[in-house]
A = this chain, B = another copy of it.
């Protein structure tokens, strides 16, 4: 029995080995198959999703009830050519404001690739290592990855000993190694150098391994030199007063003396387009004479262009400073919330402000704009009685550089105010507070007032002009004044 048993067991063993071998191979094949499977199925499931997709163009926007349809204000005979010129300018605007950096990119799942999705910024023409590049794949006999860019070149410092490198110094870099560790060392040493100078654009890098592809953005940006303002130590080195006058010297003088009661040496900048210019004398006063009746926004632009302080306070020439006109309090808020650009107060207790609701709309038609009076957003951190808004009253403290960036359109010669905040929508952060106020001077029967009124109050033609301007300049279809 013994001999039989051993023989039997020996035979059993042989049979086993064979069956086992087959079974083991099958099993292992299966399960390593599972490893590979994960991805192809994913890939097919994602047929629709490429890692890179253009954003859909915006559809037409809807005009609010009672909105002004701007095209109705364009003379019929000019309309066609005007719309052509507008379309051309919009294309230029887009070329200036968009790049591959606004394209939608999707990170695909179950990819063995590691890469930077945000924050990789290079200076033009300067070689910069790409952070976070790596491959983490299962066991292979050899690992091969490739990188592609279009506006620059790729290099790696690795010695070509254990890793095969092709295309170093070009737009396509291919690296292959039998060791994953060594390949990742090579990837960690890959640098990107833009071949073009530009102040702000981008490139898209494509990173590939077998059937996996990842696309990630490269920001090419010339760093801006900071432009900082020395605030100095007292209010007159923080703020200048800016105003525009036209035919109202008596009011202007009253305003100035009310200012001097509280601020003796703060700089005042006066833009003046009166017919018979009169010299305003006094310390810390700079008066600028324009060709007569150049207009409201041209004057504002001139005054702001001459400010040398970090902030300026805008006042009308018929305002009256009171003990509640505490400029320091407005400065305090601006300094505490540095992102703010414009901070409005109240005029004779009237805290006027509005929000602007804007939809880009369809390219040919243009956008829709809705001004909502007394509509505001959240309150300022630390200042529960100050609120963000899109536009404020004619009495505001502003960052000089921010307002110069937007500017007051000199084409607007008479009644114009919201127009500045429309041009600045999206580039000025605006807020309103009710704890700083200024007064209006009582209306006088001064002789020039009638004459002044005849210039100030817009006729129908002015309104048409303004709506035509919004149609072209702001690429709008309609404006609702609420």
A109 within 8 A of B: yes
Kindly identify which residue among B15, B96, B360, B388 contacts A9, using a CB–CB cutoff of 8 Å: B15
A47 within 8 A of B: no
Contacts of A105 in B (CB 8 A): 116-119
Whether B388 pairs with A197 at a CB distance below 8 angstroms is yes
Binary B-proximity of A1-32 (CB < 8 A = 1, otherwise 0): 00010011101110110011001100110111
**Considering the complex of A and B, which 8 residue pairs feature the smallest CB-CB distances, nearest first?**
A31-B31, A12-B12, A224-B426, A104-B119, A197-B377, A117-B117, A305-B305, A92-B338
Binary B-proximity of A266-300 (CB < 8 A = 1, otherwise 0): 00000000000000000000111111001000100
A49 within 8 A of B: yes
Whether B86 pairs with A228 at a CB distance below 8 angstroms is yes
Whether B107 pairs with A308 at a CB distance below 8 angstroms is no
A82-B230 CB under 8 A given contacts A23-B24, A34-B31, A216-B107 = yes
A448 within 8 A of B: no
Q: What distance in Å separates the Cβ of A68 from its nearest Cβ neighbour in chain B? A: 15
Interface size band for A: 35 or more
Whether A118 pairs with B118 at a CB distance below 8 angstroms is yes
Whether A114 pairs with B104 at a CB distance below 8 angstroms is no
A-B contacts, 28 of them at CB < 8 A, read: A4-B4, A12-B13, A12-B15, A19-B20, A20-B23, A30-B31, A32-B34, A49-B132, A82-B230, A89-B228, A95-B338, A102-B121, A104-B120, A106-B114, A106-B115, A106-B132, A107-B115, A107-B116, A109-B135, A117-B217, A222-B426, A225-B474, A227-B474, A286-B294, A289-B289, A302-B302, A305-B305, A305-B407
Contacts of A411 in B (CB 8 A): 308
A199 within 8 A of B: yes
A378 to B405, CA, bound (A): 28
- The oligomer's copy count stands at 2
Q: What distance in Å separates the Cβ of A43 from its nearest Cβ neighbour in chain B? A: 10
Kindly identify which residue among B8, B91, B107, B124 contacts A12, using a CB–CB cutoff of 8 Å: B8
Please report A residues at the B interface, Cβ cutoff 8 Å: 4, 7-9, 11-13, 15-16, 19-20, 23-24, 27-28, 30-32, 34-35, 38, 42, 45-46, 49, 53, 55, 82, 85-86, 89-93, 95-97, 101-121, 124-125, 131-132, 134-136, 138, 195-200, 214, 216-217, 221-231, 286-291, 294, 298, 301-302, 304-308, 335, 338-339, 358, 360, 367, 369, 377-378, 388, 401, 404-405, 407, 409-411, 422-423, 425-429, 472-476
Whether A216 pairs with B117 at a CB distance below 8 angstroms is yes
A118 to B226, CA, bound (A): 27
Kindly identify which residue among B196, B199, B217 contacts A378, using a CB–CB cutoff of 8 Å: B196
Contacts of A115 in B (CB 8 A): 106-107
Whether B116 pairs with A108 at a CB distance below 8 angstroms is no
Contacts of A358 in B (CB 8 A): 222-223, 225
Whether B11 pairs with A9 at a CB distance below 8 angstroms is yes
